[in-house]
C-alpha cells in the first residue's frame, strides 16, 4: 500500500469512532490519507482527531467559511487511488444509489473517477431490510466494491450482522484490492512529456502548445500500477506527486536527450510523448535581440531525435512507444516513424479529429504495433486514454 492515495469518506454512524484506528493502520502501511466527513459524522468523531491522524486538513463543506476557499470534489476523486467510504450509513448509501449530491462526500462520489469501496454499518434490521439489500446490489452493479458488514454487538444492544467491518479487515480488503492493481510492479518506465523551449535569447524561445497532460496522465497510470517512473518533462503546469516518481524538469531538447541517455538503460519501458522541437536556433544571443531592421532572419539547426536515439540504443528486452501527432495521412506517416525509429508501438492522433491534440483534455488515439496491427480507441479524456495505453501495453508485452 506504500504511496497509495486513499480518500476516506466518513458518514454519521457510531462506527465512526473506529476510523481513528483505521487511519492509524493505513498510515502504518505508508499510504496517504485525505478525509471527507459528512456534517453528521462530526457528532461521532471530531474533525480535529481525523485531521491529526491523517496529517491532512479534513474536508466537510463545499467551501471554507473562514477564508472562502473551495473544496474541489472533482480534483479529490481524481487524486485518489481509491475512495473508501467507512462507515457508510443506510442514509448515505441510499443517496449514493440515487445520485444525490447534497454534501461534499456525496458530490465527490458522483464525480469520482477512481474505484470506490464502501464499508456499511447499521443496525441488524436496517442491514437486512429489502431496501438496503436492493441498495447494496445496485451499488455493486455500479462497480462499487462492498466490504460486507460483520456479525457482533451493535450500538442498539442487539447482536447481529450490521457492524462495520473491523479496521484490520478493511485494511486487508485494501491490500487485496491494490494487489490486483500492480500490473507493472518491479518495472521502471521512462516517460518524456511536454514541449521543449529552444532559447533565442535570454527572454525568447521557440516552443509549442503541448501541455504535458498526456505524458503526466500516463505517468500517473503507471504509478497506479506499481511502476517506478522516471519522468523527463519540458515546461508544464502539470503536477504529480508519488514516492515512486523521479521527475526531471528540462527546457531544451538537448537537456531532455541528456537525461534520456542517462536513464534509458535502467528502464524496461519507454513512452515518449514529449512534443520535442525539431529545430533550435543556430545561435543563442547572450543579450536580448534588439529591434532594428524590418526583417530578422533566424537560422535554425536540427535538434537530436530523442526517440530515435532510444530506438537505436534499445536492447531486445526493452519496449519503446512513441507518439505521432499528424495533420494528414496519419496512419501512413506513423507507420513510417515506427519503422524508422525502431519502435515497438506508436500512438497516433491527428489534429483532424475534433477533441484531439494539444491543450484539450480529450484525445482520440490509435495504436500501431511493429507488425502493423492497428487498435482504435474512442474519443476519451486524457486520463482514460492513459489507462487504455497502460492496459494495452500490459496485454501486448
Ligand atoms: O518525427 P516526429 O517528431 O513526428 O515523432 C514524434 C515522436 O518522436 C514522439 O514520440 C516524440 O516524443 C519523439 N521525438 C523525440 N525527439 C525529437 C522529435 C520527436 O523524441 N527531436
Distance 193 CA to ligand 1 centre (A): 11
pLDDT class for 128, splitting at 50, 70, 90? very high
192 lines ligand 1 (CB under 6 A): yes
Pair (258, 374) in one structural domain:
yes
The CA distance from 177 to 181, in Å, is 7
The CA distance from 100 to 93, in Å, is 10
Work out the average pLDDT over 89-98. Answer: 97
CATH, residue 169: 3.40.50.1950
Pair (296, 366) in one structural domain:
yes
Tens digit of each residue's pLDDT (9 = 90 or more) over 225-257: 989 999 999 999 998 877 789 999 999 999 999
Tens digit of each residue's pLDDT (9 = 90 or more) over 17-66: 999 999 999 999 999 999 999 999 999 999 999 999 999 999 998 887 77
Final residue of a domain: which of 163, 180, 197? 180
Distance 276 CA to ligand 1 centre (A): 6
What is the number of domains present in the chain?
2
| % of residues, the chain, pLDDT over 70 | 99
Q: Please give the positions annotated as active site.
A: 208
For ligand 1, mutation pick of 233, 254, 280, 323 (most atoms within 8 Å of CB): 323
CA 92 to chain centre: 27
Which domain covers residue 369, as residue numbers? 188-396
Does residue 212 carry a pLDDT above 90?
Answer: yes
Residue nearest to atom 5 of ligand 1 (CA): 324
Pair (176, 280) in one structural domain:
no
Pair (281, 386) in one structural domain:
yes
Cβ(348)–Cβ(331) under 8 Å? yes
Which three-class secondary structure state does DSSP give residue 363?
strand
Whether the model pTM is above 0.75: no
Distance 243 CA to ligand 1 centre (A): 28
Residue nearest to atom 1 of ligand 1 (CA): 337
Comparing CA positions, the residue from 245, 238, 229, 247 lying closest to residue 194 is 238
Distance 307 CA to ligand 1 centre (A): 6
Amino acid at each position: 500500500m506504500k504511496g497509495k492515495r486513499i480518500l476516506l469518506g466518513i458518514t454519521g454512524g457510531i462506527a465512526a469512532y473506529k476510523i481513528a484506528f483505521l487511519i492509524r493502520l493505513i498510515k502504518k502501511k505508508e499510504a496517504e490519507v485525505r478525509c471527507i466527513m459528512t456534517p453528521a459524522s462530526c457528532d461521532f468523531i471530531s474533525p480535529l482527531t481525523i485531521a491529526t491522524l491523517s496529517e491532512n486538513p479534513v474536508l466537510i463543506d463545499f467551501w471554507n467559511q473562514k477564508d472562502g476557499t473551495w473544496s474541489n470534489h472533482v480534483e479529490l476523486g481524481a487524486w485518489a487511488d481509491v475512495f473508501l467510504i467507512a462507515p457508510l450509513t443506510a442514509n448515505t448509501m441510499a443517496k449514493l444509489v440515487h445520485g444525490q449530491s447534497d454534501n461534499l462526500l456525496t458530490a465527490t462520489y458522483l464525480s469520482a473517477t477512481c474505484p470506490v469501496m464502501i464499508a456499511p454499518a447499521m443496525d441488524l434490521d436496517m442491514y437486512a431490510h429489502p431496501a438496503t439489500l436492493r441498495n447494496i446490489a445496485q451499488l455493486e452493479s455500479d462497480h462499487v466494491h462492498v466490504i460486507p458488514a460483520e456479525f457482533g454487538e451493535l450500538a442498539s444492544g442487539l447482536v447481529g450482522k450490521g457492524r462495520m467491518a473491523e479496521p484490520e479487515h478493511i485494511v486487508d480488503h485494501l491490500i487485496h484490492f491494490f494487489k490486483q492493481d500492480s500490473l507493472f510492479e518491479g518495472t521502471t518506465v521512462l516517460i518524456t512529456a511536454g514541449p521543449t523551449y529552444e532559447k533565442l535569447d535570454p527572454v525568447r524561445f521557440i516552443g509549442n502548445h503541448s501541455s504535458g497532460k498526456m505524458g503526466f496522465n500516463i505517468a500517473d497510470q503507471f504509478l497506479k500500477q506499481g511502476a517506478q517512473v522516471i519522468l523527463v518533462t519540458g515546461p508544464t503546469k502539470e503536477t504529480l506527486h508519488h514516492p515512486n516518481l523521479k521527475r526531471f524538469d528540462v527546457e531544451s531538447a538537448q537537456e531532455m536527450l541528456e537525461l534520456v541517455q542517462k536513464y534509458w538503460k535502467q528502464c524496461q519501458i519507454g513512452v515518449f510523448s514529449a512534443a520535442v522541437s525539431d529545430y533550435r536556433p543556430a545561435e543563442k544571443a547572450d543579450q536580448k535581440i534588439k529591434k532594428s531592421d524590418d526583417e530578422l532572419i533566424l537560422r535554425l539547426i536540427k535538434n537530436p531525435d530523442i526517440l530515435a536515439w532510444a530506438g537505436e540504443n534499445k536492447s531486445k528486452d526493452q519496449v519503446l512507444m512513441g507518439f505521432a501527432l499528424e495533420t494528414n495521412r496519419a496512419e501512413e506517416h506513423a507507420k513510417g516513424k515506427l519503422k524508422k525509429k525502431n519502435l515497438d508501438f506508436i500512438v497516433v492522433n491527428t489534429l483532424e479529429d475534433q477533441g484531439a491534440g494539444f491543450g484539450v483534455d480529450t484525445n482520440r488515439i490509435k495504436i500501431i504495433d511493429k507488425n502493423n496491427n492497428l487498435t482504435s480507441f474512442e474519443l476519451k479524456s486524457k486520463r482514460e486514454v492513459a489507462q487504455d495505453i497502460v492496459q494495452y501495453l500490459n496485454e501486448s508485452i
